[in-house]
Each structure stands twice: as C-alpha cells, then as structure tokens.
Structure 1
Amino acid sequence: MAGDRVALITGAARGQGAAIAARLIQDGFCVAACDLLVGDLEQTVERLGPDRALAVELDVTSEEQWASAVAAVVDRFGALTALVNNAGVLHRASLSEETPAGFEGSWRVNCLGPFLGIQASLPHLREAEGAAIVNTCSTGAIRPFPNHSAYGSSKWALRGLTQVAAVELAPAGIRVNAVFPGPVETPMLDPTTQSRLAATALMGRIGTPMEIADAVAFLVSEHATFITGSELTVDGGQSLQIG
C-alpha cells in the first residue's frame, strides 16, 4: 500500500479516537489505531476492517514504544503521512489536593506524549507529500476551569507545542494544527458529567465524537493545504460562555 495516505492515531481504541480512525478511512486513509486498551483496540480495528487498519499497542509516554509503533506502521503501509495526537487523560483535583504524581501524570500523557510522537514520526513525515499533524487540545486551553490544574496546564502546554512545531516544520512542508473540543460524548466524561454539561450548553447538548473527527479530517485533508498553526475550536459555543 505504499503511496497511500497513512495516519497514526493515538487514543484510538474507543470514543473520539475510534471516530477519527473511522472518518479517515472513509477519506481513503490507511490508519494505525494506537492505544493501551488492547482489547478495545482490537475490536475497533475489526470493525474498521483489518485491510486498512492496524492495531498498535502504544504507551504514548514511552520513547521506545513510539519508535516501535512508527516502525510497525511504515512496515505495514509503506509510509506515514499524518499524525493525530489524540490520546489524553482528564485528572481533576483542587490545587490543595493535587499531588506531584497526579500533576506529572497528566503532563506526561497530554504533552510529553505528543512531543515524542512528533519526534518519532518526523523522519517519515519529512518524506511525505502533504504531511500533517493534528494535536487534540481542549477548551481547557482557552479558558480556566476550577480543579483542572494538571489537565488545563498540560493542554495549554500542548497548545504552545503546536505553535512551535508549526513554525519549525512549515519549511519542510509539514502542517501542524490543533482541534479544541468542548465536552464530547466519550468515556472520558461519565454520564452524570455529560448530563450536567448538556444542561448548561448553549446548543442544549454536548458534542459527538464524529463531530470532532470531521474537524480532524479537514485539517489533514487537501482542503487545508494552506492552514498551519491553526486552532479549530469545536465546542458548541462553550468557550463563549462566562462563568
């Protein structure tokens, strides 16, 4: 399948990441669906179709596993043309109750992971035509939410990393953008939280995984070839609300 568009997607076992994988396959990509949830990941790839999807176990905080994952993707599909850093963890605690381990754990997944992914993918993205990186940020990197010091600060850092990477990689023809989802119907939010957020949402509901996937698909597509360093907010107006 050399020459195909090939995307590596993290956090792809379920929810938003699985939707991104399905959406990119619709657009003709081959996808490497990466996650630590191996059982869910294998089921997702089975639904996607093993001919165009590959399940890869990946801890995004491990430099060694990133190297192995990228090598597996290139070995299977012959190239890597897009990287979607979607994996993330949501950890809530007040400032007084947060722990160093909890704080650092969020940063390792939400910011270090994307950095390691970019670094591991770069040799192949430099060789690709129309190469693109999309990082999943959050409305928590636009406005502050109480009890989100670890999550919010890590997503602000990812926002900065996206901008630096966009500037640094533009001369190589690699576009780097970010999506900023608001609350979405995924396992990251329990049903009670989903209901609470929907009740106060401007549009009367929270987002669906495919609505985020559509935004990612646009940013990696030929329709966005002059877009880099962009921040696409997909939040149903959450960031417009006060309080």
Structure 2
Amino acid sequence: MRLFLWNAVLTLLVTSSSGALIPEPEVKIEVLQKPFICHRKTKGGDLMLVHYEGYLEKDGSLFHSTHKHNNGQPIWFTLGILEALKGWDQGLKGMCVGEKRKLIIPPALGYGKEGKGKIPPESTLIFNIDLLEIRNGPRSHESFQEMDLNDDWKLSKDEVPFPFSFFFSFFLYLLPFLFPPFFPSLPPPFLLLPPFLLAHFFRNIFEKTFIFICIKCYLNTDALKIVLLHRRASLRREVYRDLKKKKYHSFFCFFP
C-alpha cells in the first residue's frame, strides 16, 4: 500500500515538474450547411447578420432564439472584438453567407462562472447559427490592420510608431495658409482638396494619433479595439470617456 502511494506521489511530482499545461478551451465547430459557391469569408472586424438559436447542453433547453425572441429579426454584430461571446469570435471565422454552423462553447468561452439570465454558471452552450450577410466593418478597421504588422489582431508598442509623416504632411498642407506672403499665387489651402478628401485626411490623423496614445500611454489594446471597430457609437464614446479620465503618464509617453 505504501509503495502504491509513493508511486502516485512520484508520478504527480514528475507531471508537475515537466511543465504539463492544462489545454486551452476550444469551440467545437460543426458545419451543418455550406453554400456551393463562397464569394467571401468572415474575418475579424466584419459585420455579420445572423439568425441563431442557443441551447443549454445539459438539458437541451432553448434560452434564446432570434426567430422567437427578437420579433423574428436577425442581429448584426462585429466579429473579433468581444461584442458577443468569445466562443462566437472563435467559431465564426471563415464563414460564408448561407452557411450554417453548430458551435459547442465551453463555459470559459461563454458566460463563465457568472452565468446570465436563464443561463446558469459554468454552462456549456450550443448555438445553431445561420449567416445571412457580411459587410465591411467601420473604416477604422483599415487603420487598425495597417498597423497590425503580424496579423495577430493585437497591437504592440513596436507596431505603433509616432505618426510624424501625418503631421508633416498636415504642416505642408497648411503652409500657404500660415505664410500667405510666400505663396501669393496659390488659392486658399482648404480649396486645394475636395471636402471628402479633407475629411478622410483629418480622420486618419486622429485615428493614428489616438492609437499611438492608447498603446504608448495606456497600453489598453482591448479598449482601443472597441473605440476603433465597434459599430455602436455610444459604446465608442463610453470607452473614450473612460480613457480620457486617466491622466497622461507624461509627455514623454509619446516617444519610444
């Protein structure tokens, strides 16, 4: 008996010392229906229009359905920014319009220990999801992708240089306005470009500067993703207000 216990203890010690890791929870994906032709697959930042039904795995009870509980209307959500469950962000990538999937989502990628409404804590969830339409996400997604050099859908400090080029271009554009005697033959600077190009130019300057501040000063990539990518302006403003409440570390946080 003692020999058996000693062997068990040794086995436990060897296992723990070997650095054995608990496997990360994963979503089980089953494709129920797939279109013959797929013109586009979903990726992070896309807007998806879906119908879905959600069930509890333990007893098969329905806890929500867009067909029954949403006046029969599908819902829009943005993939990849935790607008829905983590399990949805993992399980709905690479999906085609007209495709139907069954997702089995473990608690860690669902509602976890807290639960929600009719969903008890530590519940495994089953979703049947039908993709009806894909649209491009907000234009800010383009700025995010330009800076995400390694395509890991996260921004690091190394990927966020100070946007000197934008401010330099802006300065050159304003030269005729700031020093009119030196540019007598040029029209007023704000007549040099159409209004929509000016709006796009100023938007890019703001976005890249704000990205730089978030990463260098706040190191808050999740909040940044919501501000840039979320289609709900109210949520973007809420996150932006939270960031503004924090004090800047110092002016030098703007530089590497």
The two structures have a TM-score, normalised by structure 1, of 0.24
Give 1 or 2: higher helix fraction: 1
Greater Cα radius of gyration, structure 1 or 2? 2
